[in-house]
Structures are given as C-alpha cells and as structure tokens.
A = this chain, B = another copy of it.
Amino acid sequence: MSAPFARRALTVTAVQQLGAYSVMRVADPDAPEPQAGQFSMLAAVERWGGGEGERPFLARAFSIARHLQGESHYLLEDVGPGTRRLCELRAGDQLWSLGPLGRPFTTPAEGRRAILLGGGVGIAPLAILQDTLLEDASVLLGFRDGERARGAGLLRDARVATDDGSLGYHGLVTDLLEQELQSDAHAVVYACGPAAMLERVRSICAETHTPAQLALEAAMACGFGACYGCVVPRRGGGYLRVCLDGPVIDAAELERVEEHAGASA
C-alpha cells in the first residue's frame, strides 16, 4: 500500500537508550503497514532548525526498524543537527512523518538460506525484516565499539563483530559473512550499513554468485522521487534514485557502492 500524500503529525510514545543509539517509538495507527526496508522522512514539529549552521531544515530519512501494535520504532544515532534534535524528543513530543516510502526487501528465491548482515545504525531495517519475513535467517552484525554493539539487542540471535574487539568477533562483520558463505554457499544476503561494508558485501557476493539486496543510504531532500538529489551510479550508466528505486537495491545493479551511499559506521 502506498503512503498517505502528506506529512503527518505523530506523537512520540517512548524513547529508550540502546548503547550508543536511541530507540524512538511513535504512535502511527493509521499508517499503512510498512514493509521491511521502507523508511520515513522525519522532522520535529517544534524547533526543527536553530542548530549547528542554523540547521536542520529538511526532514531526515530513517528506516522503519519495527512496526508493532500501531507503533513505528526507529533506531537513531546522533551524527548531526537533525539526528541530534530527534534524539532530544521525549514521549509526548510531536514529530512530522512522511511514509512509509521506498522499495522494500523481497523474499528470497525458493531454497536459498537468508543471511542478514548489518553494520552500525544500518542494522535498523534488518529488525523488521527478521520480524516479518525472515525469522530464521542468520544474523551477523558489526559495530565500531562496545557501546554501539549494544544496538545488537534490536535483533534476536545475532552474531556480533566489533572493530575494537570489545564484543564478539574481533574484526569485520564481512569476515563472518565469508565464513558463512564458505559453509553454505546457497544463500541470499540482505545487508545494510556503512558504504565500505556494503561495497565489501557486494564484491564478496559478486565473487561467490550470491544474490544480495543492499539497503543504501543517501542524503535526501524529499524521499519520494521529486528532487533527484539522492542518486547513486547505476551499473551501465546513469543513476538510481535511492528513495524511489531503493533504498533496497539489488547488488547486481551497482558497479560499486560509493562513499556517500552508506550508513554511519
């Protein structure tokens, strides 16, 4: 189902700290059921602006991490004036929301085993994917440090890797992916995270002929195909709009995942 054609003023119902991240819950009873991989454009109703550099001004894109009992959950990382303002909101505060938007993840071809691979705040869309489509998928999550690794609590049964070794495997989460693919190559990968991670996933999957669905990020002005601002190069020439042709894009459509196309690490 498509998104209502207007931003909606919604109410924050709860905010919880999850290590370095916040989980914000927003009452959104009238929205169409979001699909895993879709996102919303969010902005605070009050005082959206007046931060660093007299920003934010535009709404910001956030993966819907979960949708339960009429509430959307978002996983937020404070990386700039927009996310900072959203992280300040408390239960009762008002939020503008437009969505759900974008092309979702799709179910794997018959017989292929799903691997969910997330990095940093990019783990968010994997939670709803695990909730709705792929309950039994293997889950591999990578984080920069221990504080961030507490974000793994958003999903069930995750194997965790950290860059600094403070939790789980000491190294890149893509090392774990390579191990998994060695043990059973008949898989399909669902990934979201920093650009460097996604590029590594893309190249591993290309080499092993493993299908992969990558949830990309890009700075967005609109989120619904109007501004042509959120593009990534398409294999073979031209550009894809991440908001409309993605955010979930088949890895085969990309030559490589460019620097600006991923989540913060």
Residues of A within 8 A of B (CB): 46-51, 54, 57, 85
Chain B, Cβ-Cβ closest to A51: B47
CB A43 to nearest CB in B, in angstroms, measures 10
A57 to B54, CA, bound (A): 9
A51 to B54, CA, bound (A): 11
- List residues of chain B with CB within 8 A of the CB of A47: 47, 49-51, 85
Instruction: Name 15 A/B residue pairs within 8 A (Cβ), A-sorted.
Output: A46-B50, A47-B47, A47-B49, A47-B50, A47-B51, A47-B85, A48-B50, A49-B49, A49-B50, A49-B51, A49-B54, A50-B50, A50-B51, A54-B54, A54-B57
CB A51 to nearest CB in B, in angstroms, measures 7
Please provide the 10 A-B residue pairs with the shortest distance between their CB atoms, ordered closest to farther.
A49-B50, A50-B50, A47-B50, A47-B47, A49-B49, A48-B50, A49-B54, A47-B51, A54-B57, A49-B51
Choose among A46, A50, A51 the residue with the greatest number of B CB atoms under 10 Å from its CB.
A50
A124 to B82, CA, bound (A): 37
Chain B, Cβ-Cβ closest to A50: B49
CB A236 to nearest CB in B, in angstroms, measures 42
Supply 13 further A-B pairs (C-beta < 8 A) apart from A50-B50, A54-B54.
Answer: A46-B50, A47-B47, A47-B49, A47-B50, A47-B51, A47-B85, A48-B50, A49-B49, A49-B50, A49-B51, A49-B54, A50-B51, A54-B57
